[in-house]
Amino acid sequence: MKCFYFPGPERDDGGSRVPRIPWSRSLSMASGGGESRRSDTEPAMDWRREDGLRAFGFAELKSATRGFSRSLIIGEGGFGCVYRGVVNVPQQGDDGAKTMDVAVKQLNRNGQQGHKEWITEVNFLGIVKHPNLVNLVGYCAEDDERGIQRLLVYELMANRSLEDHLLGRISSKLSWPIRLKIALDAAHGLAFLHEEMDFQLIFRDFKTSNILLDEHFNAKLSDFGLARHGPAEGIGHISTSVVGTVGYAAPEYVQTGRLTAKSDVWSFGVVLYELITGRRSLDRNLPRSEQKLLDWVKPYATDPKKLHLVIDPRLEGQYCTKSARKLVALANKCLMKQPKSRPRMSEVVVMLEHIIEMPNGKTIPAVINGSPSATQDDTESTVNAKERSSFRSRVFELREIIRLRKVDWPVMKLARTL
């Protein structure tokens, strides 16, 4: 999925340029400008950190990733490549050190925008901790004969991204209860950014590739490079450069550059439909009428009798129809045309908790050997496509036998005896 970036000055509701807002006392980020050279409006950083982040040397990270081997790449994007690596973690009161699996993101040296995103991530994740936000272990900032070196070191998320699972890059399939749990975890993360901090943060690039899963399939948000301070109290929105990923960005933001927390809520609605259908928000490999996910699901999502036609076939019918309808209704609320009509993320959290606690959906399955196990709750409410298909097949075969033998009794009477 391609990202887009339309540079432009950031302005508040009154049309004046938005000043820089510090993340903390010693750290600051600049509001977006499109300049390609360093200036007074660039992000600045004080290296005297008291946030627990570790400053890595470039040589150490190069060794940890075996010279940034292509075989260790676990992700790639506009920022650069992400490598799997192993670093030593010093232990207090012990001469030895233990090792830790990490993900090392290396900045693409081309372009100033990547440097700003790097600063944003260090500044934000260095001071904010939450169970549903990825943990930043440390960073690297060195200049050598090859130029500027900027890297970020995160905890390694064993089950990679939600996108990897939905696109089939990983063999294990996500059961319906696990999908609900991922949605709830991601909602908790966004609600924290929007409503639970001293300042509001708008993610701006919420999508399946930025939802990472640990060994227990707990979901954590990652990649805060495009995150932006929300509007000040009493101001409805901020006008800023339009950035994000095609297929996820809210229409009012793309058309006008007006950014609010409800822009993230729209993106969350898109991700809910991806969880429901197993499809990407935009897929050029599908027939033209099915390429745009929201356009494709529209005629089915409003008709409960047709809803099963858009449910991810990899679920093989193992899902709760009642919770599926509720989840579609929630996605539609998040995708309301008017931003003010969309729910806040704290309200989304409550609605998701009610969906999960519904009969046949209240039990989240245990993860066995790193793979989510599907649960079988109440078969009367759970669609079992395989059994229905088998029944129809037996009835069809019986009809053929009756036709061939010219037996003169009702087919349905025999069908009932099966």
Catalytic residue ranges: 205
386 is in an annotated binding site: no
Tokens of 205: 């690039």
Tokens of 310: 């858009």
CA distance 72 to 69: 6
Tokens of 216: 């227990």
Phi/psi-derived region of residue 311, left when phi > 0, alpha when psi is between -120 and 50, beta in every other case: beta
CA distance 244 to 203: 9
Strands (E), 214-370: 219-221, 228-229, 238-239, 242-245, 258-259, 319-320, 367-368
CA distance 188 to 349: 6
Q: Find the DSSP H helices in 104-145.
A: 112-125
Asked if 176 contacts 315 with a C-beta cutoff of 8 angstroms, the reply is: yes
Going by the DSSP 8-state scheme, the letter that residue 230 receives in this structure is: P
CA distance 85 to 69: 10
Element housing 383 (H / E)? strand 382-383
Q: Is the dihedral of CA 125, 126, 130, 134 positive or negative?
A: positive
Q: What contacts 134, CB < 8 A, 6 or more positions away?
A: 125, 154, 155, 157, 212, 220, 221, 222
Asked if 39 contacts 18 with a C-beta cutoff of 8 angstroms, the reply is: no
Q: What contacts 90, CB < 8 A, 6 or more positions away?
A: 97
Going by the DSSP 8-state scheme, the letter that residue 37 receives in this structure is: S
- Which residues participate in the annotated binding site for ATP? 105
